[in-house]
Structure 1
Amino acid sequence: MKAVRVNEYGGPEVMKIEDIAQPAPASDEVLVEVYASGVNPVDWVIRSGANESLRSFLTLPMTLGWDAAGVVVEAGSEVTYLKPGDQVYGVPNFPGDGSYAEYCVGKATQFAIKPRSLDFTQAAGVPLAALTAWTGIFAHGDLQPGQRILIQGASGGVGSFAVQFAKSKGAYVIGMASADNVNYVKQLGADEVIDYKTQQFESVLRDIDVVLEASPTRNNRERVKAVAVLKEGGTFVSVNTDFPFNDELMEAGKAKKVKVALAANQPQQEWLKEIAELIDAGKVQVLINKVFPLEQVADAHRASETWHVKGRLVLNIKKISITA
């Protein structure tokens, strides 16, 4: 099968399309014929090899990609929920052989039936970013109806899903974005939007229940400012797990009597099912910015690395797209 392989760390040019053996599923896994794969910042962070904490988990050569939409070809002997022919979306094993390939394997519990209202290209833009948002605001933030949440990086891949999920659950949503994206975040459902370039959020907000850091900023002093706007008993959650909290942040959280948490993505089937229901009910929209053929994977990475993409980037793996 064809797969995008990384044999050495570096720039987009290190990715090569190679012919490799088709993987076989273990007893608790599914083999998925991949129709489309999402492109996420973690893909090029891993490709570059710049993050030491991630590198310790990786072995080269490897196939990138942790967003898959396609059709189940084979299910392991222990798998009961999914069967061959099912149209699914989910997250392949990490670390392991990813979804920039014609086939991938993953734990069956990391896949679910894709939203019926989405084609494979759209569905491929959902899993990783959506699950990251879900993990942050619900598993760690325990967001409840009527609570107020501040979402930093609200126009990004994770942030845009977080805005919609929070709104669908009855929260009051405040998004942070650049001036160019204010209207977009409002269209996603945010009740308020703060332009982070012209407004100091720590001066205008207080008594927030949950803050979700979903922006590319890696700055613990900015995190301390976010903690300051929380009410006592609130929660600060960051999805930037590659950037640890420092002592200043931990002390600020302790002094304010708030919870601080780094939210690692949890690819759970039940959450994928609920996300699909929200999408099919029209409560969550999936915006695709651009679809690239597999041969243009380097261009997809270059676009993602600008951090200025509104909507999702997707690789088309199969030439012929099949819809629900």
Structure 2
Amino acid sequence: MSGDGMKAVRIHRFGDDSVLTVENVPIPRPGPGDVLVRVHAAAVNPVDSLVRRGLVAVSDRPLPWIPGWDFAGSVVAVGSEAMGWSVGDVVYGRPSLARDGSYAQYLAVDAGEIAAVPRTVPLESAAAVPLVTLTAWKALFDLGGLEAGKTVLIHAGAGGVGTMAVQLARHRGAKVVATASGDGIELARSLGADEVIDYRGEDFAARGRFADVVLDTVGGETLERSYRVVVPGGSLVTIAGAPDEDRAEGLGISVHTFVLDSNGSRLAEIAALIDADELRPVVSHVLDLDDVAEAHRLIDSGRTRGKIVLRVR
């Protein structure tokens, strides 16, 4: 870890993918409660693009920032108060958005925000898991109250959050209806969706009130039409828009949005589900860290299946 530092991607200003610059920067120093991780892979999420464009404020620190909030790697140093971890442990996590992220060779992360990686998948696949799976879990179960026998509608069932939400809902014993298009229809089916609505040819809202829980990852018109399909007493959870509390109250439903917390203990549960073959990460592209701009172009297209991962050499 000595020498000239590490390779990392930083943004010095907000804007399009051209603001992502690959640089040599100092290796972060872990605090007392941190571990220092040698990053093997970092996943790309839509929130990374929102941060890059300045549309989501995640920190009041001055620029430049290192983006990226999904990773898998090996512990190379342990802070004096970081319990439970040793040098050589292979871990994954979704670190705090308020700190420099994972588009780098090394990452300092709070010891409570990580878990041992699932043993049955490559590190590139493990890196794709934390943010989307924690998001799906919190939306479906903590806020949506999804239980066995209930019906859930998951929008964009072939996307990053959607692919994990379909599998989690299936594992919980719910009836899973997803929206998708093109080859995403078969992907969502293969992950356990009981029914897939091709949103290009069918208006899901024409079905009336059929879903106990709706998970909206799309926003806009999709969110607006989703209120009408939730049964009385059901829940609409969106990660892509502002809830209309008055409209929800008028329909007798609850509506939620949230900011995701890091959660190491839940990641341990998720790793166990992956190793038990109950969940499988879906990775559509693995690119090198130097190709970060291309990764952001893909994420900005809104048409990717599953996750995009950066391999950190």
With normalisation by structure 2, the TM-score equals 0.94
Once the two structures are superposed, residues 226-245 of structure 1 have per-residue CA deviations (whole angstroms, 9 ceiling, x without a partner) of 122212221110112xx323
Counterpart residue number, 2:157: 154
- Report the equivalent of 1:283: 278
The answer for the alignment partner of 1:110 in structure 2 is 113
- CA 1:55 to 1:168, structure 2 compared with 1: closer, same or farther past 3 Å? closer
- CA RMSD, aligned part only? 1.5
CA 1:89 to 1:202, structure 2 compared with 1: closer, same or farther past 3 Å?
same
Counterpart residue type for residue 88 of structure 2: G
Residues 140 and 263 of structure 1 are in contact (CA less than 8 Å); yes or no, is this contact kept in structure 2? no
- In structure 2, the partner of 1:301 is 296
Aligned mate of 1:98, from 74, 88, 101:
101
1:273 corresponds in structure 2 to: 268
For residue 74 of structure 1, report the CA deviation from its aligned partner: 1.7
Residue 31 (str. 1) matches residue 36 (str. 2): yes
Out of 5, 8, 11, the position equivalent to 2:16 is 11
Measure the CA separation in 2 of the matches of 1:55 and 1:94: 6
- Which residue among 200, 218, 221 is the counterpart of 2:220? 218
Q: How many residues align?
A: 308
Does 1:314 pair with 2:312? Answer: no
User: For residues 207 and 253 of structure 2, what CA distance do their matches in structure 1 show?
Assistant: 19
Pair 1:264–1:191, CA change in 2 (3 A): same
The match for 2:85 is: 82
Q: State the alpha-carbon separation in 2 of the partners of residues 231 and 198 from structure 1.
A: 23
Give 1:236's aligned residue: 236
Counterpart CA distance in 2 for 1:179 and 1:293 is 27
Distance 1:236 1:284, change over 3 A: same
Distance 1:142 1:317 in 2: 38
Q: Which amino acid aligns with 1:218?
A: G
Q: What amino acid is the match of 1:253?
A: A
**2:245 paired residue number:** 250
Residues 164, 189 of structure 1: 8 Å contact kept = yes
% identical equivalent positions: 38
Distance 1:311 1:223, change over 3 A: closer
- Counterpart of 2:48, as a letter, is D
Give the letter for the 2:301 counterpart. Answer: T
Q: Which residue in 2 is equivalent to 1:196?
A: 199
Matches of 1:273 and 1:138 in 2, distance apart?
Answer: 17
Aligned residue number for residue 212 of structure 2? 209
Per the alignment, residue 175 of structure 1 pairs with 178
TM-score under structure 1 length normalisation: 0.91
Q: Secondary structure of 2:9's match?
A: strand
Alignment-mate amino acid for residue 279 of structure 1: I
Q: Secondary structure at the match of 2:13?
A: coil
Q: Measure, in 2, the Cα distance between the counterparts of 1:26 and 1:55.
A: 20
Residue 125 of structure 2 corresponds to: 122
Structure 1 position 58, deviation (Å): 5.5
Q: State the 1:297 CA deviation.
A: 0.9
SS of aligned partner of 1:94:
coil
**Separation in 2, partners of 1:56, 1:125:** 23
1:33-48 to structure 2, matched below 5 A, reads 33-48=38-53
SS of residue in 2 equivalent to 1:62 = coil
Q: Could you say if the C-alpha distance between residues 283 and 205 of structure 1 is closer, same or farther in structure 2, counting changes exceeding 3 Å?
A: farther
Q: Deviations over 1:76-131 (max 9, x none)?
A: 22222222211000022212211000101111111100000012111111111111
- CA gap of 1:80–1:265, structure 2 versus 1, over 3 A, is same
Deviation at 1:309, TM superposition (A): 1.0
Aligned with 1:62 (options 62, 65, 79): 65
Structure 2 portions without partners, runs of 5+:
1-5
User: How far apart, in 2, do the equivalents of 1:14 and 1:280 lie?
Assistant: 38
Alignment partner, residue 321 of structure 1: none
C-alpha separation in 2, matches of 1:273 and 1:55: 25
